Structure 1
Protein backbone atom coordinates (compact mmCIF):
# COMPACT_ATOMS: atom_id res chain seq x y z
CA UNK A 1 0.00 0.00 0.00
CA UNK A 2 2.78 2.41 0.97
CA UNK A 3 4.73 1.52 -2.17
CA UNK A 4 1.75 2.33 -4.39
CA UNK A 5 1.11 5.57 -2.48
CA UNK A 6 4.73 6.63 -2.85
CA UNK A 7 4.65 5.81 -6.56
CA UNK A 8 1.53 7.92 -7.02
CA UNK A 9 2.90 10.87 -5.05
CA UNK A 10 6.27 10.70 -6.82
CA UNK A 11 4.81 10.58 -10.34
CA UNK A 12 2.11 13.15 -9.61
CA UNK A 13 3.95 15.70 -7.49
CA UNK A 14 7.52 15.07 -6.39
CA UNK A 15 8.88 14.21 -9.81
CA UNK A 16 7.64 17.49 -11.28
CA UNK A 17 9.26 19.58 -8.56
CA UNK A 18 12.43 17.48 -8.63
CA UNK A 19 12.76 18.04 -12.39
CA UNK A 20 12.07 21.75 -11.88
CA UNK A 21 14.78 21.95 -9.21
CA UNK A 22 17.35 20.14 -11.34
CA UNK A 23 16.59 22.41 -14.29
CA UNK A 24 16.99 25.45 -12.05
CA UNK A 25 20.34 24.19 -10.76
CA UNK A 26 21.78 22.94 -14.07
CA UNK A 27 19.98 25.09 -16.63
CA UNK A 28 19.19 21.92 -18.57
CA UNK A 29 16.06 19.82 -19.06
CA UNK A 30 15.84 16.14 -18.13
CA UNK A 31 16.45 15.00 -21.72
CA UNK A 32 19.68 16.99 -21.90
CA UNK A 33 20.82 15.57 -18.57
CA UNK A 34 20.13 12.01 -19.74
CA UNK A 35 22.23 12.52 -22.87
CA UNK A 36 25.09 13.98 -20.87
CA UNK A 37 24.93 11.38 -18.13
CA UNK A 38 24.82 8.20 -20.21
CA UNK A 39 26.84 7.06 -23.20
CA UNK A 40 25.19 5.76 -26.35
CA UNK A 41 23.27 2.52 -25.79
CA UNK A 42 20.55 1.01 -23.64
CA UNK A 43 21.01 3.16 -20.55
CA UNK A 44 20.62 6.35 -22.57
CA UNK A 45 17.72 5.21 -24.74
CA UNK A 46 15.81 3.69 -21.81
CA UNK A 47 16.28 6.95 -19.93
CA UNK A 48 14.90 8.95 -22.85
CA UNK A 49 11.99 6.53 -23.17
CA UNK A 50 11.13 6.91 -19.48
CA UNK A 51 11.45 10.69 -19.61
CA UNK A 52 9.22 11.08 -22.66
CA UNK A 53 6.69 8.52 -21.46
CA UNK A 54 6.27 10.11 -18.04
CA UNK A 55 6.00 13.67 -19.35
CA UNK A 56 2.75 15.57 -18.93
CA UNK A 57 3.50 17.27 -22.26
CA UNK A 58 1.51 15.66 -25.08
CA UNK A 59 4.13 16.55 -27.71
CA UNK A 60 6.81 14.68 -25.78
CA UNK A 61 4.61 11.62 -25.14
CA UNK A 62 3.53 11.47 -28.79
CA UNK A 63 7.16 11.30 -29.89
CA UNK A 64 7.21 7.70 -28.61
CA UNK A 65 4.48 6.71 -31.06
CA UNK A 66 5.98 8.24 -34.19
CA UNK A 67 6.91 6.11 -37.17
CA UNK A 68 10.27 6.36 -38.93
CA UNK A 69 9.12 9.06 -41.34
CA UNK A 70 7.89 11.32 -38.52
CA UNK A 71 10.95 11.20 -36.27
CA UNK A 72 12.71 14.23 -37.69
CA UNK A 73 9.62 16.38 -37.13
CA UNK A 74 9.19 14.97 -33.62
CA UNK A 75 12.77 15.92 -32.79
CA UNK A 76 12.14 19.51 -33.89
CA UNK A 77 8.87 19.63 -31.95
CA UNK A 78 10.46 18.29 -28.76
CA UNK A 79 13.32 20.78 -29.02
CA UNK A 80 10.82 23.60 -29.50
CA UNK A 81 8.75 22.51 -26.49
CA UNK A 82 11.85 22.21 -24.28
CA UNK A 83 13.30 25.50 -25.62
CA UNK A 84 16.45 23.82 -26.93
CA UNK A 85 18.14 25.66 -29.79
CA UNK A 86 17.56 23.95 -33.16
CA UNK A 87 21.24 24.42 -33.98
CA UNK A 88 22.19 22.07 -31.13
CA UNK A 89 23.25 19.33 -33.54
CA UNK A 90 24.51 16.98 -30.83
CA UNK A 91 21.18 16.94 -28.99
CA UNK A 92 19.27 16.63 -32.25
CA UNK A 93 21.38 13.67 -33.40
CA UNK A 94 21.16 11.87 -30.05
CA UNK A 95 17.39 12.29 -29.76
CA UNK A 96 16.91 11.15 -33.36
CA UNK A 97 18.93 8.00 -32.68
CA UNK A 98 17.06 7.21 -29.47
CA UNK A 99 13.67 7.65 -31.14
CA UNK A 100 14.78 5.39 -34.00
CA UNK A 101 15.58 2.65 -31.49
CA UNK A 102 12.36 3.14 -29.50
CA UNK A 103 9.97 3.22 -32.46
CA UNK A 104 11.97 0.50 -34.23
CA UNK A 105 11.56 -1.82 -31.24
CA UNK A 106 7.79 -1.38 -31.34
CA UNK A 107 7.68 -2.06 -35.08
CA UNK A 108 9.90 -5.12 -34.66
CA UNK A 109 7.52 -6.53 -32.07
CA UNK A 110 4.57 -6.04 -34.43
CA UNK A 111 6.49 -7.74 -37.27
CA UNK A 112 7.43 -10.69 -35.06
CA UNK A 113 3.89 -10.94 -33.70
CA UNK A 114 2.41 -10.93 -37.21
CA UNK A 115 4.74 -13.75 -38.26
CA UNK A 116 3.87 -15.71 -35.12
CA UNK A 117 0.18 -15.42 -35.95
CA UNK A 118 0.67 -17.03 -39.37
CA UNK A 119 -0.48 -20.64 -39.09
CA UNK A 120 1.66 -23.19 -40.88
CA UNK A 121 -0.27 -24.22 -43.99
CA UNK A 122 0.75 -27.40 -45.80
CA UNK A 123 -1.09 -26.10 -48.88
CA UNK A 124 1.14 -23.01 -48.94
CA UNK A 125 4.05 -23.64 -51.29
CA UNK A 126 6.35 -21.18 -49.52
CA UNK A 127 5.72 -22.79 -46.14
CA UNK A 128 6.42 -26.23 -47.55
CA UNK A 129 9.61 -25.03 -49.24
CA UNK A 130 10.94 -23.69 -45.94
CA UNK A 131 10.17 -26.95 -44.18
CA UNK A 132 11.96 -28.98 -46.85
CA UNK A 133 14.86 -26.51 -46.72
CA UNK A 134 15.18 -27.17 -42.99
CA UNK A 135 15.44 -30.90 -43.63
CA UNK A 136 18.01 -30.46 -46.38
CA UNK A 137 20.15 -28.17 -44.23
CA UNK A 138 20.19 -30.57 -41.31
CA UNK A 139 20.13 -33.91 -43.14
CA UNK A 140 21.89 -33.35 -46.49
CA UNK A 141 22.97 -37.00 -46.68
CA UNK A 142 19.44 -38.38 -46.43
CA UNK A 143 16.44 -37.77 -48.68
CA UNK A 144 12.89 -37.61 -47.40
CA UNK A 145 10.92 -40.65 -48.50
CA UNK A 146 7.63 -38.76 -48.28
CA UNK A 147 6.19 -35.46 -47.08
CA UNK A 148 4.49 -37.21 -44.17
CA UNK A 149 6.98 -39.61 -42.63
CA UNK A 150 8.47 -40.73 -39.33
CA UNK A 151 11.79 -39.34 -40.63
CA UNK A 152 10.80 -35.94 -39.24
CA UNK A 153 11.41 -37.36 -35.78
CA UNK A 154 15.09 -37.61 -36.72
CA UNK A 155 15.37 -33.83 -36.49
CA UNK A 156 13.25 -33.55 -33.38
CA UNK A 157 9.63 -33.20 -34.47
CA UNK A 158 7.06 -35.12 -32.45
CA UNK A 159 5.24 -36.95 -35.22
CA UNK A 160 5.18 -37.70 -38.91
CA UNK A 161 3.87 -34.24 -39.90
CA UNK A 162 5.78 -31.24 -38.45
CA UNK A 163 2.97 -28.76 -39.11
CA UNK A 164 1.26 -29.78 -35.87
CA UNK A 165 4.31 -28.71 -33.84
CA UNK A 166 4.21 -25.09 -35.01
CA UNK A 167 0.83 -24.29 -33.43
CA UNK A 168 2.08 -22.10 -30.57
CA UNK A 169 4.65 -20.03 -32.47
CA UNK A 170 3.22 -20.35 -35.96
CA UNK A 171 5.51 -19.68 -38.89
CA UNK A 172 7.94 -17.80 -36.62
CA UNK A 173 9.12 -21.10 -35.14
CA UNK A 174 9.97 -22.49 -38.56
CA UNK A 175 11.63 -19.29 -39.77
CA UNK A 176 13.90 -19.24 -36.70
CA UNK A 177 14.90 -22.88 -37.20
CA UNK A 178 15.67 -22.28 -40.88
CA UNK A 179 17.63 -19.09 -40.13
CA UNK A 180 19.83 -20.82 -37.56
CA UNK A 181 20.36 -23.86 -39.77
CA UNK A 182 21.23 -21.70 -42.79
CA UNK A 183 23.56 -19.18 -41.14
CA UNK A 184 25.12 -21.50 -38.54
CA UNK A 185 24.94 -24.77 -40.43
CA UNK A 186 27.88 -26.53 -38.80
CA UNK A 187 26.72 -25.57 -35.32
CA UNK A 188 23.15 -26.64 -36.10
CA UNK A 189 24.26 -30.06 -37.31
CA UNK A 190 26.51 -30.48 -34.28
CA UNK A 191 23.66 -29.61 -31.91
CA UNK A 192 21.37 -32.01 -33.79
CA UNK A 193 23.99 -34.73 -33.32
CA UNK A 194 24.13 -34.00 -29.58
CA UNK A 195 20.34 -34.12 -29.38
CA UNK A 196 20.44 -37.78 -30.43
CA UNK A 197 22.50 -38.81 -27.40
CA UNK A 198 20.95 -42.02 -25.96
CA UNK A 199 20.82 -40.65 -22.38
CA UNK A 200 21.07 -36.86 -22.65
CA UNK A 201 19.17 -36.42 -25.89
CA UNK A 202 16.28 -34.07 -26.59
CA UNK A 203 13.94 -33.18 -29.45
CA UNK A 204 15.97 -30.72 -31.53
CA UNK A 205 13.10 -29.04 -33.43
CA UNK A 206 10.82 -28.87 -30.38
CA UNK A 207 13.55 -27.27 -28.28
CA UNK A 208 14.12 -24.81 -31.12
CA UNK A 209 10.44 -23.85 -31.12
CA UNK A 210 10.53 -23.47 -27.33
CA UNK A 211 13.50 -21.12 -27.71
CA UNK A 212 11.46 -19.12 -30.21
CA UNK A 213 8.76 -18.78 -27.57
CA UNK A 214 11.35 -17.60 -25.05
CA UNK A 215 12.81 -15.02 -27.44
CA UNK A 216 9.32 -13.84 -28.39
CA UNK A 217 8.30 -13.46 -24.72
CA UNK A 218 11.42 -11.40 -23.96
CA UNK A 219 10.65 -9.15 -26.91
CA UNK A 220 7.00 -8.79 -25.90
CA UNK A 221 7.61 -7.85 -22.26
CA UNK A 222 10.39 -5.40 -23.14
CA UNK A 223 13.23 -7.39 -21.59
CA UNK A 224 14.99 -7.47 -24.96
CA UNK A 225 15.26 -3.68 -25.11
CA UNK A 226 18.62 -3.48 -23.34
CA UNK A 227 20.18 -6.01 -25.71
CA UNK A 228 18.85 -4.41 -28.90
CA UNK A 229 19.48 -0.82 -27.77
CA UNK A 230 23.10 -1.79 -27.03
CA UNK A 231 23.62 -3.79 -30.22
CA UNK A 232 21.68 -1.82 -32.86
CA UNK A 233 22.45 1.91 -33.31
CA UNK A 234 19.21 2.60 -35.16
CA UNK A 235 16.14 0.65 -36.23
CA UNK A 236 16.06 -2.94 -34.92
CA UNK A 237 15.09 -5.28 -37.76
CA UNK A 238 13.77 -8.84 -38.00
CA UNK A 239 17.34 -9.89 -38.79
CA UNK A 240 18.39 -8.76 -35.31
CA UNK A 241 15.65 -10.87 -33.70
CA UNK A 242 16.84 -13.91 -35.66
CA UNK A 243 20.42 -13.22 -34.57
CA UNK A 244 19.33 -13.04 -30.95
CA UNK A 245 17.54 -16.35 -31.36
Structure 2
Protein backbone atom coordinates (compact mmCIF):
# COMPACT_ATOMS: atom_id res chain seq x y z
CA UNK A 1 0.00 0.00 0.00
CA UNK A 2 1.46 3.39 -1.00
CA UNK A 3 1.74 6.25 1.44
CA UNK A 4 -0.72 8.23 -0.67
CA UNK A 5 -3.26 5.46 -0.45
CA UNK A 6 -2.80 5.25 3.31
CA UNK A 7 -3.32 8.98 3.66
CA UNK A 8 -6.53 8.74 1.65
CA UNK A 9 -7.84 6.02 3.96
CA UNK A 10 -7.00 8.23 6.92
CA UNK A 11 -8.88 11.19 5.47
CA UNK A 12 -12.00 9.06 5.10
CA UNK A 13 -11.60 7.97 8.73
CA UNK A 14 -11.55 4.21 8.03
CA UNK A 15 -9.43 2.71 10.81
CA UNK A 16 -9.42 -1.06 11.19
CA UNK A 17 -12.75 -1.27 9.43
CA UNK A 18 -14.41 1.20 11.80
CA UNK A 19 -15.80 4.44 10.39
CA UNK A 20 -14.90 7.70 12.08
CA UNK A 21 -16.77 10.20 9.94
CA UNK A 22 -15.37 13.31 11.61
CA UNK A 23 -12.34 14.58 13.42
CA UNK A 24 -12.33 16.79 16.50
CA UNK A 25 -12.14 20.46 15.50
CA UNK A 26 -9.44 22.67 16.95
CA UNK A 27 -12.09 24.70 18.77
CA UNK A 28 -13.03 21.59 20.74
CA UNK A 29 -9.47 21.09 21.97
CA UNK A 30 -9.70 23.43 24.93
CA UNK A 31 -6.71 22.64 27.12
CA UNK A 32 -5.97 19.80 24.70
CA UNK A 33 -8.07 17.34 26.69
CA UNK A 34 -9.25 15.29 23.70
CA UNK A 35 -7.34 13.66 20.84
CA UNK A 36 -7.36 15.51 17.54
CA UNK A 37 -8.22 12.46 15.47
CA UNK A 38 -10.89 10.64 17.45
CA UNK A 39 -10.91 8.10 20.28
CA UNK A 40 -10.57 4.36 20.60
CA UNK A 41 -11.00 2.31 23.77
CA UNK A 42 -9.26 -0.61 22.12
CA UNK A 43 -6.11 1.31 21.18
CA UNK A 44 -2.99 0.34 23.08
CA UNK A 45 0.55 1.60 22.34
CA UNK A 46 2.81 -1.11 21.01
CA UNK A 47 5.91 0.20 22.74
CA UNK A 48 6.64 0.43 26.47
CA UNK A 49 9.55 2.85 26.35
CA UNK A 50 9.36 6.26 24.67
CA UNK A 51 12.39 8.26 23.78
CA UNK A 52 11.70 11.85 24.79
CA UNK A 53 13.15 14.41 22.46
CA UNK A 54 13.71 16.84 25.30
CA UNK A 55 16.19 14.36 26.81
CA UNK A 56 18.31 14.90 23.72
CA UNK A 57 18.20 18.70 23.82
CA UNK A 58 18.41 19.23 27.57
CA UNK A 59 20.64 17.81 30.25
CA UNK A 60 20.41 18.07 34.02
CA UNK A 61 23.10 20.69 34.28
CA UNK A 62 21.24 23.07 31.98
CA UNK A 63 17.98 22.61 33.89
CA UNK A 64 19.67 23.38 37.20
CA UNK A 65 21.33 26.45 35.76
CA UNK A 66 17.99 27.65 34.39
CA UNK A 67 16.35 27.16 37.80
CA UNK A 68 18.91 29.33 39.57
CA UNK A 69 18.72 31.88 36.77
CA UNK A 70 14.98 32.29 37.41
CA UNK A 71 15.53 32.78 41.14
CA UNK A 72 18.20 35.41 40.52
CA UNK A 73 16.04 37.13 37.90
CA UNK A 74 13.13 37.43 40.32
CA UNK A 75 15.36 39.09 42.94
CA UNK A 76 16.66 41.55 40.35
CA UNK A 77 13.12 42.16 39.13
CA UNK A 78 11.82 43.10 42.58
CA UNK A 79 14.79 45.37 43.23
CA UNK A 80 14.38 47.10 39.87
CA UNK A 81 10.68 47.74 40.39
CA UNK A 82 11.30 49.19 43.87
CA UNK A 83 14.05 51.45 42.52
CA UNK A 84 11.88 52.56 39.61
CA UNK A 85 8.98 53.50 41.90
CA UNK A 86 11.03 55.25 44.57
CA UNK A 87 13.69 57.03 42.56
CA UNK A 88 12.21 57.61 39.12
CA UNK A 89 8.47 57.36 39.53
CA UNK A 90 6.30 54.74 37.90
CA UNK A 91 5.25 56.95 35.00
CA UNK A 92 8.67 57.86 33.64
CA UNK A 93 10.29 56.28 30.62
CA UNK A 94 13.29 55.03 32.60
CA UNK A 95 10.95 53.44 35.12
CA UNK A 96 9.36 51.40 32.36
CA UNK A 97 12.77 50.35 31.10
CA UNK A 98 13.95 49.21 34.53
CA UNK A 99 10.70 47.47 35.49
CA UNK A 100 10.90 43.78 34.62
CA UNK A 101 8.11 41.18 34.88
CA UNK A 102 7.96 39.45 38.25
CA UNK A 103 6.29 36.21 39.23
CA UNK A 104 3.21 35.71 41.37
CA UNK A 105 3.46 32.53 43.45
CA UNK A 106 5.82 29.69 42.76
CA UNK A 107 5.99 26.47 40.78
CA UNK A 108 5.52 25.58 37.12
CA UNK A 109 2.15 27.40 36.80
CA UNK A 110 3.52 30.82 37.77
CA UNK A 111 1.60 33.87 36.62
CA UNK A 112 3.56 37.00 35.84
CA UNK A 113 2.67 40.61 36.36
CA UNK A 114 1.88 42.09 32.94
CA UNK A 115 5.00 43.89 31.71
CA UNK A 116 5.15 47.48 30.55
CA UNK A 117 5.27 47.47 26.76
CA UNK A 118 7.33 49.64 24.49
CA UNK A 119 5.29 51.42 21.79
CA UNK A 120 6.70 48.95 19.23
CA UNK A 121 5.73 45.90 21.32
CA UNK A 122 2.26 47.28 21.93
CA UNK A 123 1.71 48.00 18.23
CA UNK A 124 2.85 44.54 17.15
CA UNK A 125 0.86 42.78 19.86
CA UNK A 126 -2.32 44.63 18.90
CA UNK A 127 -1.71 43.76 15.25
CA UNK A 128 -1.31 40.08 16.12
CA UNK A 129 -4.43 40.11 18.30
CA UNK A 130 -6.34 41.66 15.41
CA UNK A 131 -5.23 38.78 13.18
CA UNK A 132 -6.40 36.27 15.77
CA UNK A 133 -9.95 37.64 15.66
CA UNK A 134 -10.41 37.03 11.93
CA UNK A 135 -12.42 33.85 11.26
CA UNK A 136 -11.94 31.96 8.02
CA UNK A 137 -14.70 32.90 5.58
CA UNK A 138 -15.10 30.59 2.62
CA UNK A 139 -17.15 33.21 0.78
CA UNK A 140 -14.42 35.88 1.10
CA UNK A 141 -12.40 36.32 -2.10
CA UNK A 142 -9.23 37.12 -0.13
CA UNK A 143 -9.54 33.90 1.84
CA UNK A 144 -10.27 31.90 -1.30
CA UNK A 145 -7.16 33.35 -2.94
CA UNK A 146 -5.12 32.42 0.14
CA UNK A 147 -6.26 28.80 -0.17
CA UNK A 148 -5.23 28.76 -3.82
CA UNK A 149 -1.88 30.30 -2.86
CA UNK A 150 -1.32 27.50 -0.35
CA UNK A 151 -2.07 24.88 -3.00
CA UNK A 152 0.37 26.42 -5.48
CA UNK A 153 3.07 26.49 -2.81
CA UNK A 154 2.40 22.90 -1.79
CA UNK A 155 1.99 21.46 -5.30
CA UNK A 156 3.64 23.78 -7.84
CA UNK A 157 3.46 21.13 -10.57
CA UNK A 158 -0.17 20.11 -10.06
CA UNK A 159 -3.30 21.63 -11.51
CA UNK A 160 -5.15 23.95 -9.16
CA UNK A 161 -8.39 22.25 -8.10
CA UNK A 162 -11.68 23.92 -7.37
CA UNK A 163 -12.37 25.17 -3.87
CA UNK A 164 -14.32 21.97 -3.32
CA UNK A 165 -12.43 18.96 -4.60
CA UNK A 166 -11.33 15.53 -3.44
CA UNK A 167 -7.78 16.66 -4.26
CA UNK A 168 -7.64 18.75 -1.07
CA UNK A 169 -7.59 15.54 0.98
CA UNK A 170 -4.07 14.90 -0.34
CA UNK A 171 -2.92 17.92 1.71
CA UNK A 172 -4.52 16.57 4.84
CA UNK A 173 -7.89 18.30 4.93
CA UNK A 174 -10.76 16.28 6.36
CA UNK A 175 -13.02 16.52 3.34
CA UNK A 176 -13.32 18.04 -0.10
CA UNK A 177 -13.98 21.53 1.33
CA UNK A 178 -11.04 22.92 3.38
CA UNK A 179 -13.14 25.83 4.65
CA UNK A 180 -14.96 23.48 7.06
CA UNK A 181 -11.72 22.76 8.94
CA UNK A 182 -10.97 26.31 10.11
CA UNK A 183 -13.52 26.57 12.93
CA UNK A 184 -10.92 26.63 15.70
CA UNK A 185 -7.89 28.07 13.91
CA UNK A 186 -9.30 31.06 12.07
CA UNK A 187 -7.68 32.74 9.09
CA UNK A 188 -4.35 33.09 10.89
CA UNK A 189 -3.85 29.31 10.74
CA UNK A 190 -3.98 29.50 6.94
CA UNK A 191 -1.57 32.45 7.00
CA UNK A 192 0.76 30.35 9.17
CA UNK A 193 0.78 27.52 6.64
CA UNK A 194 1.48 29.92 3.77
CA UNK A 195 4.28 31.59 5.72
CA UNK A 196 5.82 28.17 6.43
CA UNK A 197 5.62 27.17 2.76
CA UNK A 198 7.27 30.40 1.57
CA UNK A 199 9.89 30.84 4.30
CA UNK A 200 11.05 27.25 4.79
CA UNK A 201 9.96 25.46 1.59
CA UNK A 202 12.20 22.41 2.06
CA UNK A 203 11.04 21.76 5.62
CA UNK A 204 7.44 22.40 4.56
CA UNK A 205 7.66 19.88 1.72
CA UNK A 206 9.33 17.30 3.95
CA UNK A 207 6.46 17.52 6.43
CA UNK A 208 3.74 17.67 3.81
CA UNK A 209 5.01 14.57 2.05
CA UNK A 210 6.24 12.80 5.24
CA UNK A 211 9.69 12.33 3.74
CA UNK A 212 11.69 11.97 6.95
CA UNK A 213 11.85 9.19 9.51
CA UNK A 214 10.20 5.84 10.07
CA UNK A 215 6.52 6.64 9.62
CA UNK A 216 3.54 5.00 11.27
CA UNK A 217 0.97 3.20 9.16
CA UNK A 218 -1.62 5.76 10.26
CA UNK A 219 -0.16 9.26 9.95
CA UNK A 220 -1.53 12.60 11.13
CA UNK A 221 -3.20 14.71 8.39
CA UNK A 222 -0.85 17.58 7.58
CA UNK A 223 -3.27 20.50 7.13
CA UNK A 224 -5.51 19.68 10.11
CA UNK A 225 -2.42 19.26 12.28
CA UNK A 226 -1.25 22.71 11.18
CA UNK A 227 -4.51 24.30 12.29
CA UNK A 228 -4.23 22.69 15.71
CA UNK A 229 -0.64 23.92 16.11
CA UNK A 230 -1.82 27.50 15.56
CA UNK A 231 -4.52 26.94 18.17
CA UNK A 232 -2.02 25.45 20.63
CA UNK A 233 0.36 28.41 20.28
CA UNK A 234 -2.40 30.94 20.97
CA UNK A 235 -3.28 29.08 24.17
CA UNK A 236 0.32 28.70 25.25
CA UNK A 237 1.27 32.34 24.69
CA UNK A 238 -1.89 33.71 26.31
CA UNK A 239 -2.22 36.44 23.68
CA UNK A 240 -5.90 36.38 22.77
CA UNK A 241 -6.58 39.73 24.44
CA UNK A 242 -4.90 42.06 26.86
CA UNK A 243 -1.39 41.41 28.09
CA UNK A 244 -0.07 37.86 28.57
CA UNK A 245 0.61 36.75 32.13
CA UNK A 246 2.28 33.40 31.44
CA UNK A 247 6.06 33.11 31.34
CA UNK A 248 5.92 31.97 27.71
CA UNK A 249 3.72 34.93 26.79
CA UNK A 250 5.95 37.46 28.53
CA UNK A 251 9.05 36.01 26.86
CA UNK A 252 7.25 36.02 23.50
CA UNK A 253 6.71 39.79 23.79
CA UNK A 254 10.49 40.19 23.83
CA UNK A 255 10.73 38.12 20.65
CA UNK A 256 7.97 40.22 19.08
CA UNK A 257 9.91 43.41 19.70
CA UNK A 258 12.80 41.99 17.67
CA UNK A 259 10.77 40.38 14.90
CA UNK A 260 7.28 41.30 13.70
CA UNK A 261 6.89 37.75 12.31
CA UNK A 262 7.76 36.07 15.62
CA UNK A 263 4.42 34.24 15.85
CA UNK A 264 4.71 32.83 12.32
CA UNK A 265 8.34 31.88 12.92
CA UNK A 266 7.42 30.13 16.16
CA UNK A 267 4.67 28.29 14.28
CA UNK A 268 7.21 26.84 11.85
CA UNK A 269 9.42 25.71 14.73
CA UNK A 270 6.43 24.21 16.56
CA UNK A 271 5.29 22.23 13.49
CA UNK A 272 8.76 20.81 12.88
CA UNK A 273 9.22 20.08 16.59
CA UNK A 274 5.85 18.32 16.73
CA UNK A 275 6.89 16.06 13.86
CA UNK A 276 10.22 15.32 15.58
CA UNK A 277 8.35 14.29 18.73
CA UNK A 278 6.02 12.21 16.58
CA UNK A 279 8.96 10.28 15.16
CA UNK A 280 10.80 9.99 18.47
CA UNK A 281 7.71 8.48 20.13
CA UNK A 282 6.99 6.29 17.11
CA UNK A 283 3.51 7.72 17.41
CA UNK A 284 0.51 6.98 15.25
CA UNK A 285 -3.00 8.27 14.57
CA UNK A 286 -4.52 8.17 18.06
CA UNK A 287 -1.50 9.65 19.85
CA UNK A 288 -1.54 13.05 18.20
CA UNK A 289 -2.95 14.75 21.28
CA UNK A 290 -0.12 13.45 23.46
CA UNK A 291 2.45 14.58 20.91
CA UNK A 292 0.94 18.09 20.89
CA UNK A 293 1.18 18.21 24.69
CA UNK A 294 4.85 17.17 24.73
CA UNK A 295 5.59 19.68 21.97
CA UNK A 296 4.04 22.47 24.00
CA UNK A 297 6.01 21.45 27.09
CA UNK A 298 9.30 21.65 25.23
CA UNK A 299 8.44 24.98 23.61
CA UNK A 300 7.65 26.43 27.05
CA UNK A 301 11.05 25.28 28.30
CA UNK A 302 12.86 26.77 25.35
CA UNK A 303 11.01 30.08 25.61
CA UNK A 304 12.27 30.28 29.21
CA UNK A 305 15.92 30.29 28.13
CA UNK A 306 17.18 33.66 29.30
CA UNK A 307 19.69 34.39 26.56
CA UNK A 308 17.19 33.68 23.75
CA UNK A 309 16.06 36.96 22.20
CA UNK A 310 14.37 35.65 19.07
CA UNK A 311 12.79 32.47 17.72
CA UNK A 312 16.00 31.73 15.86
CA UNK A 313 17.84 31.48 19.19
CA UNK A 314 15.71 28.53 20.30
CA UNK A 315 17.42 25.11 20.12
CA UNK A 316 14.45 23.67 18.21
CA UNK A 317 14.95 26.23 15.43
CA UNK A 318 17.86 24.08 14.25
CA UNK A 319 15.33 21.49 13.13
CA UNK A 320 14.28 23.83 10.31
CA UNK A 321 17.77 24.00 8.84
- Same fold per superposition (TM over 0.5): yes
Alignment-derived partner of residue 244 in structure 1: 266
State the alpha-carbon separation in 2 of the partners of residues 46 and 107 from structure 1: 30
Does residue 251 of structure 2 align to residue 226 of structure 1? Answer: yes
State the alpha-carbon separation in 2 of the partners of residues 46 and 106 from structure 1: 26
The size of the alignment, in residue pairs, is 174
Does residue 192 of structure 2 align to residue 176 of structure 1? Answer: yes
Asked whether the 8 Å contact 2:168–2:177 carries over to 1, the reply is yes
Tell me: CA distance 1:106–1:49, structure 2 relative to 1, closer, same or farther (3 Å).
farther
Alignment-derived partner of residue 84 in structure 1: none
- Larger mean CA deviation between 190-199 and 206-215 belongs to 190-199
Q: CA deviation at 1:214?
A: 1.4
Q: CA deviation at 1:207?
A: 0.7
Asked whether the 8 Å contact 1:108–1:237 carries over to 2, the reply is no
- Larger mean CA deviation between 187-196 and 120-129 belongs to 187-196
Q: CA deviation at 1:50?
A: 9.8
2:229 equivalent among 191, 195, 211:
211
- Larger mean CA deviation between 234-243 and 165-174 belongs to 234-243
Asked whether the 8 Å contact 1:151–1:160 carries over to 2, the reply is yes
Q: CA deviation at 1:224?
A: 3.4
Tell me: CA distance 1:202–1:217, structure 2 relative to 1, closer, same or farther (3 Å).
same
| TM-score normalised over the length of structure 1 | 0.57
Alignment-derived partner of residue 124 in structure 1: 140
Tell me: CA distance 1:145–1:226, structure 2 relative to 1, closer, same or farther (3 Å).
closer
Q: CA deviation at 1:162?
A: 0.9
SS in 2 for 1:202: coil
Q: Give the CA RMSD over aligned residues.
A: 4.0
Q: CA deviation at 1:194?
A: 0.7
Asked whether the 8 Å contact 2:208–2:222 carries over to 1, the reply is yes
Q: Deviations over 1:59-95 (max 9, x none)?
A: 62xx5xxxxxxxxxx315x49xxxxxxxxxxxxxx54
Q: Which has the larger radius of gyration?
A: 1
Q: Deviations over 1:220-242 (max 9, x none)?
A: 1532333553xx4x725541111
State the alpha-carbon separation in 2 of the partners of residues 116 and 50 from structure 1: 36
- Report matched runs for 1:100-179 at 5 Å: 107-179=123-195
1:75 equivalent among 83, 93, 116:
93
| TM-score normalised over the length of structure 2 | 0.45
Asked whether the 8 Å contact 2:166–2:176 carries over to 1, the reply is yes
Asked whether the 8 Å contact 1:111–1:238 carries over to 2, the reply is no
Greater relative contact order (CA < 8 Å, ≥ 6 in sequence): 2
State the alpha-carbon separation in 2 of the partners of residues 219 and 147 from structure 1: 32
State the alpha-carbon separation in 1 of the partners of residues 192 and 119 from structure 2: 23
Q: CA deviation at 1:219?
A: 1.7
Tell me: CA distance 1:101–1:147, structure 2 relative to 1, closer, same or farther (3 Å).
same
Q: CA deviation at 1:106?
A: 5.3
1:188 equivalent among 204, 229, 233:
204
User: Unaligned regions of 5+ residues in structure 2, if any?
Assistant: 1-68, 102-114, 239-243, 268-321
